[in-house]
Amino acid sequence: MAYLRQVGRYPKFKAPHGMILCYQSSLMDYILRKHKTTRLRGIGGDTYLLDETGGRVGVAGKFGIGAPAAVANLEEFIAFGVKRFISLGTAGALRKGISIGGLMVCDRAIRDEGTSYHYLKPSKYAYPSKSLTADIRSALKACGLEFFCGTTWTVDAPYRETVAEVKKYQKEGVSTVEMEASALFAAAQVRRVPIGAMFTISDSLADLKWKPRFHHRRTAGGLEALYGAALAVLRK
């Protein structure tokens, strides 16, 4: 932030109170179609204020995927003054019976990525904010949406998710696999800001064969439903 001031590129707007982090360009395109927004320059990837919230809520996307990219942006938003975060993304199902487009609220994440270990001592799990996660569950219920809560496996190398690992985590009852949650939780804990995470199911490893459905209408519908709930939480 000091460097941005030095070179005259410090953002010329007030930081929103809450920020939605999204990773799918299709979700960002949906948000821009549905809302009047103000483009924010100087921080994040594509970052916008949602005009209807009076500048209280922003959304950031198209900054890359994975733990390092997500946490780097989180750090900068925190330094800029954002107070609360909700991460919205897709995840692969590990357990049988989880359908494409299903909605999950994450209550803990297995730390199989490298970023979180630069923030917290080694441990198996990282955790989101309890109070913000409770608000997320309440918002989903108020919207009449069906969802489940569970553990996710956060991993840096999606093409190295092995059959042996999937079997192991299935036995432990782990629900999903994705790339950001545990690192975001760790960084937010250290920086003392609340964060929560929600996923929609975009693919499945439950039968030990990868079944991708990233472009399915149910995946898109799931992301849009999660966004509506996140907006309801952060605009309060």
What are the domain boundaries of the chain? Answer: 13-234
Please name the fold of domain 13-234. Rossmann fold (3.40.50)
Q: What is the pLDDT of residue 5?
A: 87
What integer pLDDT is reported at residue 111 of this predicted model? 98
In tens digits, what is the pLDDT along the chain, a chain of 236 residues?
889 889 988 888 889 999 999 999 999 999 999 999 999 887 888 999 999 999 899 999 999 999 999 999 999 999 999 999 999 999 999 999 999 999 999 999 999 999 999 999 999 999 999 999 999 999 999 999 999 999 999 999 999 999 999 999 999 999 999 999 999 999 999 999 999 999 999 999 999 999 999 999 999 999 999 999 999 999 98
CB 233 within 8 A of CB 133: no
